[in-house]
Amino acid sequence: MYPRLTFWLLPALLLVAALSGLLLGSLDWRTVQASSADIVTDLRLSRVLLAILAGAGLGLSGALTQAVVRNPLASPDLIGVTAGAGLAATTLMLLWPDLAFGWLIPAAIIGALLAVLVMLALVGRGTLNPSRLVLVGIALSSWLAALTDWLLVSHPQKVNMALVWLTGSLWGRGWDHVWILLPWLLVLVPLALMLSLRLDLLALGDEAAEGLGANVRRSRLLALLLAVAMAAVSVAVCGAISFVGLVAPHLARLLVGGAHHRLLPVTAMVGALLVLVSDIAARTLLAPIELPAGVLTALIGAPYFLFLLTRYRGW
């Protein structure tokens, strides 16, 4: 735990990553300078900003989910949020391809909310028993994924677009998408940060929190709602980038400990860094062919998650 160092170092790292995101791409710097097209401002800057925004959204969503479920292995991927948003967005893309992109975000939010509502209904109101939440979430996710697969198979001509989106990629995203995502996060992120003090109370346990005057159920529901909304807007713009919501809070906890007023901002930065680095690698590794950023986050995140799993002693 190095809170002070972290608060200096992380923004600096993020800045460095952002700068290299502007410098690196499928074309080398000399070619970019030589061409009169505004590649840096038109294409690269918008993608760097989007990666930061989406990564922060996913990371925060993960931290909030873990706070609500009180299980360090929970994440929006595990409780059906990503799968719900994914199903809604795939439905929209395959069945109404002519709709404007702006509809994707509300649809993804509705899909994610519905998934969470179904999950809460299945878990049983009142008690949010953590391990039951995760188990029901996983089962629900796999069902939603099966439906998504069905949509894919029955629309073979549009499989490619949906596959790109389902793996999570920032390909073809630009300023339009920044302006769509930014207002949502401008509202949601401050709300999440405001909630952090109440979350610290929740971490003490239900009874202690009640004793200190917190309305446990309401705080928890609000945090869950925020988590769903943030994951859904990020997923709607960048696709289902996996493991960021899981790994970012963990790394942040290693760096600054579990107090949410420190944890949440650091999680946001770590999440942003993860997605940004993955996106830069995705653009440059096989250029001009682009890899989905989601596979890179999975390649980083899954082994880390499995490592956590073997270390976790709270069974």
Partner 1 sequence: MQGGLKQGLQVSRVVAGLLLLWVVGANIGVAGPVTPPQRVVVLEYSFLDAVVAAGVSPVGIADDKKPGRILPAIRRQLGDYQSVGLRGQPDLETIASLKPDLIIADTRRHQGIYTALQDIAPTLLLLSYGAEYQALLDDARVIGKALGRAAQMDAQLVAHQQRMSQFATRLRSDEQLLFAVVSARGMAVHGRPAFASGVLHRLGLNIALPAGSQQPYVRVSLEQLAAMNPDWLFVGDYNAAQGGADILRRWQQHPLWPFLKLSRKQQLLNVDPNSWSLARGIYGAEQIAQDLLATSLARSN
Partner 2 sequence: MRLSQPLSPLIVTPCLLLVLLAGIASAAIGGSTFALTLTDLFNAVLGDAQNLAAQLVLGDAQNLAAQLVLTIRLPRVLIAATVGAALALAGTLMQGITRNPLASPALFGLNAGAGCLLVLVQTGLLPVPLPLMLATALGAALAGGLVLMLGGGLQGRIHPVRVVLAGVAVTALLTAMTRSLLILDEQAQAVVDWLSGSLVDADWHHWQQLWPWVLPAGLATLWLAQPLNLLALGEEMAAGLGVSPRRLRLQASLLVVILAATSVAVTGPIAFVGLLVPHLGRALVGSDHRVLLPLVAVLGAALMVWADLLSRLLVFPAETPVGLVTALIGAPCFLWLAARQRGAS
Task: Find the binding residues for partner 2 in span 146-205 (CB under 8 A).
Answer: 146-147, 149-150, 152-154, 156, 159-160, 163-164, 166-167
Burial class of 212 by CB neighbour count within 10 A (0 to 12, 13 to 18, 19+):
exposed
Residue 210 backbone dihedrals phi, psi, to 5 degrees: -55, -45
Q: How much helix, strand and coil, in percent to the nearest 5, is found in the chain?
A: 80, 0, 20
Q: How is residue 90 written in tokens?
A: 């795939």
User: C-beta of 154: minimal distance to partner 1 in Å?
Assistant: 8
User: C-beta of 315: minimal distance to partner 1 in Å?
Assistant: 40
User: C-beta of 278: minimal distance to partner 2 in Å?
Assistant: 11
Nearer to partner 1 by Cβ, of 274 and 282: the residue is 282
Displacement of CA 125 from its chain's centroid (Å): 26
What mask of x and - would describe binding to partner 1 in positions 39 to 78, judged by CB under 8 A? x--xxx----------------------------------
Our finding on whether 171 is near partner 1 (CB under 8 A) is yes
User: C-beta of 294: minimal distance to partner 1 in Å?
Assistant: 13
Our finding on whether 117 is near partner 2 (CB under 8 A) is no
Taking the C-alpha atoms of residue 185 and residue 163, their distance in angstroms, rounded to an integer, is 26
Taking the C-alpha atoms of residue 57 and residue 297, their distance in angstroms, rounded to an integer, is 15
Q: Are 119 and 137 in contact (CB under 8 A)?
A: yes
Residues in contact with partner 1 by CB under 8 A are: 25-27, 31-32, 35-37, 39, 42-44, 95, 97-98, 101, 154-158, 160-161, 164, 169, 171-172, 174, 176, 283, 287-290
